[in-house]
Amino acid sequence: METSINNNNNDNGYMNQAYVGSLNASTISIPGAYKPNESSNGKKPLPEGSGSAPPLGPGDSAPGAGQPGKQRESWNNDIEFLMSCIALSVGLGNVWRFPFTALENGGGAFVIPYLIVLILVGKPVYYLEMLLGQFSSRGSVKVYDFSPIMRGIGYGQVLATGIVTTYYATLMALTLRYFVDSFYPTLPWSYCREEWGTECLDSGPQEASRATSLAGSGVRTTSAEFYFTNIILREKASIDDGIGYPSWSLALTLAVAWIVIAGIMFKGVKSSGKASYFLALFPYVVMLVLLVRALTLPGAFDGVLYFLRPQWHKLLEPQVWYAAVTQVFFSLAICFGNIIMYASYNRFGHNIYRDANIVTTLDTFTSLLSGVIIFGILGNLAYENNTTDIASVVNGGPGLAFISYPDAIAKFKWLPQLFSVLFFLMLFVLGIGSNVGMASCMSTVIKDQFGHLKNWTVVVGIAIVGYLLGLMYITPGGQFLLNLVDYFGVTFVALVLAIFELVTIAWIYGVKRLCRDVEFMIGIKTSLYYRICWAVVTPLLMLTILIYTLVLYEPLKYKDYTYQSGVYVFGWCLSAFGVGQVLFWAIPAVRKQPSHLGLWARIRKAFEPLPNWGPSDPQTLKRYQQFVQEGNANALFRRSSIWHKIYDNIFG
């Protein structure tokens, strides 16, 4: 889809030779390695705190983010960036969300809209965010130096990312608890306790005669579900009288989770990059083991066929397409600022196009692989229960990973403890990889704003605050809160801000200028596929999903519990606060414009890139500015009608 112009791979990029002049090729033997203790123009970076600089205002760029000053840290080599992106994007959403979203939306028929949405939304936006981060060497907030009035998009996305980070860590705490419990001689969720009464059904293997006698006794609850609800969560029927106190065991595992996250992030991308090899690759080792085991179970083939067999009538249902968009959106972690942040630590000329294709393809492959594994296990469960209805042997919902999967593992007759240990270790590693990416996004924003802070102080601060906020999710009413803030503070906010982001980049900064930046940076002419998706298809699809969400909105519930009216008010206030960051940060951006301008002129000026927008290396920035000036000079001789401007923005 793309046409390469120049293959001169170096730290300054595949830039047009007319604007680059002589380039400094890396002398390091490792492909894609970064020059230690040197900036890309060959000069040593200034020591931290050296020299004097004017105080930074809210809209100013920190040194190392597009202007001379403190050298921005970078990956040890290109592979670490790729592995970190894989660890970030391939997470719990692939392992447990995708298979059951597919189950609810037509099995194999869901895969078709999923792949279409991946092509029209996932790949273009992932590539777009990688480009912006690498081109500017700025985090998810400073990257809006290309249009300072829209900087609030970045702050709103960081807010949503912060909320996800706090509750995502509690999922890691639950995973650790199950991981520890897996070492018991008998899995503790595989059998019923006396206090659970006759409604409980053992999750462990049962004799055929007993299973047959229980088949006609009505709907019963598995011991795995009782264990998760009554012992792990200690869940309440409602939160009208409060949420209760945190579980001490989960508080301990939550502390361990944050210690692991902070340890990986302690030295910034230098340490998280090294950890990324394990975080990205280990889950696939476990998945291959589980795949072999799942496909050798009796009845597994029927389960896999159920997963892959299409129901074509489902393609006409809007809900299927809505599910496909949300799955791609949250699985790839696009429009949260994380991709921009990781790419900002790349060398300028890194082949970002290749990496974007690798990560998005691997993310899809992992989802399909997980589907085969899970439905193989479900096929076995249906076989053991003498039924052909695959959907009847599993429970969906947020407790899926901690009810259905443990229930399935408990039914293994051969070493269920081993598979339980492997499964929950895999979940923990997948979750940690994603959590490190989200926490790193916040730390990058803080360090970009307050350059004097040391990395370890920022990391420790995030870990402490994240731990304290996470305690409310491990109370008896914690899942009620998680459900609430996930919808109002994350899902809705991220969807609205994603539309703002796409429109800002495509129509304020401009697809045409973005494509010129791509050509300058990596020497690739952008194809019509990306141009049309960025400008038209992707924003319209996201807007359609937002309208669909609002039209079909029903008051949020957790299980059968309806929140009090005041809770809904709080939820919408949380959404308004997240989306309102766009307006909040637009005001100082306008105020910072030259005082002699009128209000309308100030607003228009605030939409324009800052003078130092572009590559972080001063020499490369100078060449880029010359590159832009010549392009602008050529544009003076073109027609200026509105339709021609639209056409020129997309195809120019």
* Residue positions forming the annotated binding site for Na(+): 90, 94, 331, 430, 434
Report the SS3 class of residue 302.
helix
Say how far apart CA 71 and CA 39 lie, in whole Å.
7
**Token output for 19:** 């604007």
Q: Which residues pair with 561 in a beta bridge?
A: 558
Alpha-carbon span 34 to 404, nearest angstrom: 46
DSSP H/E element including 433: helix 416-449
CA distance 110 to 214: 34
Nearest one of 377, 363, 281 to 327, comparing CA atoms: 363
- Report d(CA 136, CA 145) in Å as an integer: 9
Q: Of 101, 126, 33, 50, whose CA–CA distance to 534 is shortest? A: 126
What's the farthest any 2 CA atoms get from each other in the chain? 88
**HSE, side-chain direction, 13 A CA sphere, residue 384:** 22
Q: First and final CA of the chain: distance in angstroms?
A: 17
Label residue 316 exposed, middle or buried (CB < 10 Å: 0-12, 13-18, 19+): exposed
Tell me 397's DSSP state.
Answer: S
Q: Which is nearest to 495 in space by CA: 543, 432, 557?
A: 543
Structure tokens at 113: 């809209």
Q: Please, which residues have CB within 8 angstroms of residue 562's CB and are 6 or more apart in sequence?
A: 555
Q: Provide the annotated binding site.
A: 90, 94, 331, 430, 434
Residues 6+ apart with CB under 8 A from 463: 258, 259, 261, 262, 439
User: 1 exposed, middle or buried (CB, 10 Å; 0-12, 13-18, 19+)?
Assistant: exposed
Question: Amino acid identity, residue 146?
Answer: F
Task: Give me 582's structure tokens.
Answer: 């766009």
- Cβ atoms of 499 and 542 closer than 8 Å: yes
Contacts of 454 (CB under 8 A, 6+ apart): none
Q: Is 418 in contact with 179 (CB distance < 8 Å)?
A: no
- Kindly state the DSSP code that residue 572 receives in the 8-state scheme: H
Q: Where are the alpha helices (DSSP H) in 105-194?
A: 108-117, 123-136, 152-181
Q: Are the C-beta atoms of residues 73 and 345 closer than 8 Å to each other? A: yes
Tokens standing for residue 425:
């270790």
Q: How many other CB atoms are found less than 10 A from the CB of residue 580?
A: 14
Q: Which residues share a beta bridge with 4?
A: 524
- Tokens 């205002």 belong to 57
Q: Which residue blocks in 504-580 are alpha helix, DSSP H?
A: 511-522, 528-532, 538-551, 565-579
Contact 117, 324 (CB under 8 A): yes
Q: Determine how many CB atoms are found less than 10 A away from the CB of residue 165.
A: 24
Q: Which two tokens stand for residue 521?
A: 């940076």
> Which of the 8 DSSP states describes residue 557?
E
